[in-house]
Structure 1
């Protein structure tokens, strides 16, 4: 009887040991599985922002040694900017680029960057975005379940339409123009006598083609890469808003990473941001030339018109200084000067 009990005890101990080994092996196998990081934007694949995401993926996949696998999705495949932003918050999308205009819907201070004619040039924009003001705003993102890194370059926005040449403030009046889903943008165009129609970017081309709207406003590189010139005849280089798109990562995904993986992502983003800014600057300049060559009527505002427009837009500054915070807006205006 004792021998039988002893044998049963040995069998039991061996079984426990084998189960334990099996669990350890399974855990080891699971820990060796790459963490998938889906990154996305609404941009066409050949745009600097998209090329930057591909370069980011290349660097991270190489440096991570198999622990991370970055997958890139372009051209609104995972949704418009609002859907991407929500996906990053929920963790269903691990990272991507979302414009300051849309991110400003959850971080009011960021919407201040959408104020018209705020930045006189890109050098000024980069100085502010990379400086204390821009970095402090990124620190507000974790409370919204997002980790913010740096601001990638989208360029200055220009007005296009299919109705008439626009060289003056008066010529804008009455145009029905698609705008971003931003309160600042909508108020800006209303103040200028334009009929703003907010809609997601992935709906823009069909809206222009079907004459739902007369025009739109975007950087030259977006107009060219999305073939907007096929459904728009006139382009005015208004440069009314400087657009940037912060690179963001889901906080839940970020918290799951090792310190080494976080370091790889941080260094890769910084390297690619400088690369993307340089590339986008070149693309933007070339696209204005290409659009004119394609037959689009590309013109500047008449002398003195920009000053008239800026003066007309002062109520917009007052309106959003009240909602964003007067002290913050005054600090921002001092920084850009």
Structure 2
């Protein structure tokens, strides 16, 4: 008996994961985790990593049911379900949260980041955390940011190489004022639609085009209804893993810790997976017959100048303090990298 006691004490000191899981304050729970893309997308793969990690860390007590293809509704519908406590978790665009937490609009700033690595440092840094934590006052808990990627343009009419080429295009944009104003400034007819309705809208020519990262364009099979792909990298688009605060507040500290650690593991996996897949996705889109053009530096600069008033509006919306904090962080990151 003495030997068994000594063994258990040694296991505790060593941090035995099995003993910790059994000893922790963790109950049996079924967690619905909604997302918008298909199961075989980068979003779907990362959702599975999250589910597997939760099961491992909770010794199988907490089970995540990942439900994709917008089966639980659009991002906005799922956000409302989380706020009301009718759904536990989801991952979705930060852009659709702007109506709930205005500071999220900072991530919609056109041409904000030069690389994914810059985005990681800012999103995971002090300002990214500050903005994420503001969701708590609105009934949501933000865990981590995933990557959707740099957004690029597709349409069924013609290549977009300059700002002038946007003129007259009917473009689906997210239900977000910054996106609406950006493309309106460029001369497009910007039409807000939920992602779940997008493929049908493109197929029926209700809209001419849309903008999303390469991975989403491929996994959603937009190449079946779109001919032209223009590489503009006009916005870096994050996703964010969120939890119903009403539900979160009923969890033990150990259960919250399991979800946070699993979310961080899924974040690191998802970012690497997304970046690895981006080049492959672009090559695959070409193989599927899409005509690809790259907007050159002069054209991008022209676009920047055209949409400059949008940046001023974002600064006003999120507040000068938040705006400047992001700019200062980016300046320091670029200084260190130079």
**Is TM > 0.5 for Structure 1 vs Structure 2?**
yes
Match of 1:43 in 2: 37
Match of 1:144 in 2: 138
Aligned equivalent of 2:276, options 282, 285, 296 = 282
Match of 1:20 in 2: none
Secondary structure class of the residue paired with 2:269: helix
The whole-number CA distance in structure 1 between the counterparts of 2:277 and 2:172 is 23
Secondary structure class of the residue paired with 1:329: helix
The whole-number CA distance in structure 1 between the counterparts of 2:62 and 2:121 is 32
What does the per-residue CA deviation read over 1:3-50, in whole Å, with 9 as the maximum and x for residues that have no partner?
xxxxxxxxxxxxxxxxxxxxxxxxxxxx99722110011011111121
Tell me if structure 1 keeps the 8 A contact 2:44–2:68: yes
What does the per-residue CA deviation read over 1:71-117, in whole Å, with 9 as the maximum and x for residues that have no partner?
11001000001011111111111011021101122111111110111
The whole-number CA distance in structure 2 between the counterparts of 1:118 and 1:165 is 24
Q: How much has 1:232 moved relative to structure 2? A: 0.4
Secondary structure class of the residue paired with 2:229: strand
Say whether residues 1:113 and 2:107 are aligned partners: yes
Q: How much has 1:259 moved relative to structure 2? A: 2.1
Match of 1:325 in 2: 319
What does the per-residue CA deviation read over 1:249-298, in whole Å, with 9 as the maximum and x for residues that have no partner?
11122122222212211111111110111001111121001101111001
Tell me if structure 1 keeps the 8 A contact 2:162–2:302: no
Alignment size in residue pairs: 307
Match of 2:183 in 1: 189
The whole-number CA distance in structure 2 between the counterparts of 1:157 and 1:66 is 37
The whole-number CA distance in structure 1 between the counterparts of 2:294 and 2:96 is 28
Secondary structure class of the residue paired with 1:164: coil
The whole-number CA distance in structure 1 between the counterparts of 2:103 and 2:27 is 39
Relative distance call for 1:32 and 1:294 in structure 2 (3 A) is closer
Say whether residues 1:270 and 2:230 are aligned partners: no
For structure 1, which runs of at least 5 residues remain unmatched after alignment? 1-30
Match of 2:250 in 1: 256
Aligned equivalent of 2:72, options 70, 74, 78 = 78
Say whether residues 1:89 and 2:83 are aligned partners: yes
The whole-number CA distance in structure 2 between the counterparts of 1:335 and 1:96 is 28
Secondary structure class of the residue paired with 2:215: helix
The whole-number CA distance in structure 1 between the counterparts of 2:324 and 2:260 is 31
Q: How much has 1:302 moved relative to structure 2? A: 3.5
For structure 2, which runs of at least 5 residues remain unmatched after alignment? 1-24, 332-338
Match of 1:53 in 2: 47
The whole-number CA distance in structure 2 between the counterparts of 1:147 and 1:168 is 40
The whole-number CA distance in structure 2 between the counterparts of 1:264 and 1:98 is 21
Aligned equivalent of 1:310, options 304, 313, 327 = 304
Match of 2:167 in 1: 173
The whole-number CA distance in structure 2 between the counterparts of 1:92 and 1:303 is 47
The whole-number CA distance in structure 1 between the counterparts of 2:118 and 2:106 is 15
The whole-number CA distance in structure 1 between the counterparts of 2:53 and 2:244 is 19
Secondary structure class of the residue paired with 2:289: coil
The whole-number CA distance in structure 1 between the counterparts of 2:79 and 2:249 is 18
Tell me the TM-score normalized by structure 1: 0.88
What does the per-residue CA deviation read over 1:305-333, in whole Å, with 9 as the maximum and x for residues that have no partner?
00111111111111222222123212222
What does the per-residue CA deviation read over 1:126-181, in whole Å, with 9 as the maximum and x for residues that have no partner?
11101111001111111111111110011000011000111111111111100000
Aligned equivalent of 1:69, options 48, 63, 66 = 63
Secondary structure class of the residue paired with 1:92: coil
The whole-number CA distance in structure 1 between the counterparts of 2:268 and 2:297 is 34
Tell me if structure 2 keeps the 8 A contact 1:118–1:336: no
Match of 1:8 in 2: none
Q: How much has 1:303 moved relative to structure 2? A: 4.2
Tell me if structure 2 keeps the 8 A contact 1:175–1:195: yes
